[in-house]
Amino acid sequence: MRVLKHLFDNNKAWSERITERDPQFFETLSKQQAPEYLWIGCSDSRVPANDIVDLLPGELFVHRNVANVVVPSDMNCMSVLQFAVEVLGVKHVMVVGHYGCGGVRAALQPQGLGLIDHWLCHIKDVHRRHEAELKQIDDFDQLVDRMCELNVIDQVYNVCHSPIVQAAWARGQDLSVHGWIYRLENGRLHDLDVCITCNDDVHSVYRYRQPGEA
């Protein structure tokens, strides 16, 4: 018997359901993808990108890693960003965190977990940057949740620090970068009201001179 047969059964039923609604769906989709959105989210199994915003295959380009971190030396994330912005021409990039994130929680605790400590060090950087505010929070769960929000906001800025995004804005490309957070307990998304749409909103330290700029 085939290993993990139930997953293949699920897949067959799923493809049949979609084909029933739209017989041409997969054939049309196989010829091109033209998503308007790049979702950068957490790998957590409870935060499935397409389901949360109820989008079909083809509508959302997705990159997920532990704690939705955007690091310029991460070739994987940067390649996804470059392809999404320059080739697919997405109009929106959303960094989507979630409350109670295990990666954020781990980064707030002193015990090491092995290799992943190197990755979570980026979250410790967020902690250090916002130490003055975070010191005021006594309750650990509240601290985790505020850190989850601050991490999203910092990662939004990291997206905008990329020369890929800045060049797109300089070309006049319509591109917005958003910060959202998801609550596992009720399945709802919340907009953190950080939306960056042009190079004027990027800190001068991170700004790259664009062709034609003095």
Q: Report the site for Co ion in 98-137 (rule: CB under 5 A).
A: 101, 103
Q: Report the site for Co ion in 26-45 (rule: CB under 5 A).
A: 42, 44
Specify whether the backbone of 7 is left (phi greater than 0), alpha (psi in -120 to 50) or beta.
Answer: alpha
Q: Which long-range contacts (CB under 8 A, 24 or more apart) does 206-210 make?
A: 206/160, 206/161, 207/166, 208/163, 208/166, 208/167, 210/166, 210/167, 210/170
Interaction of residue 49 with Co ion, rule CB under 5 A: no
Distance separating alpha carbons of residues 83 and 80, to the nearest angstrom = 5
Q: Which of 9, 22, 46, 190 is catalytic?
A: 46
- The strand pairing partners of 3, in sequence order, are none
46 a catalytic residue: yes
Q: Quick one: 101 or 152, whose CB is closer to Co ion? A: 101
Choose one: 53-61, 93-101, 112-120, 173-181; the region binding Co ion (CB under 5 A). 93-101
Q: Quick one: 42 or 144, whose CB is closer to Co ion? A: 42
Residue numbers of the site for Co ion (CB under 5 A)? 42, 44, 101, 103
The residues annotated with a catalytic role in the active site are 42, 44, 46, 98, 101
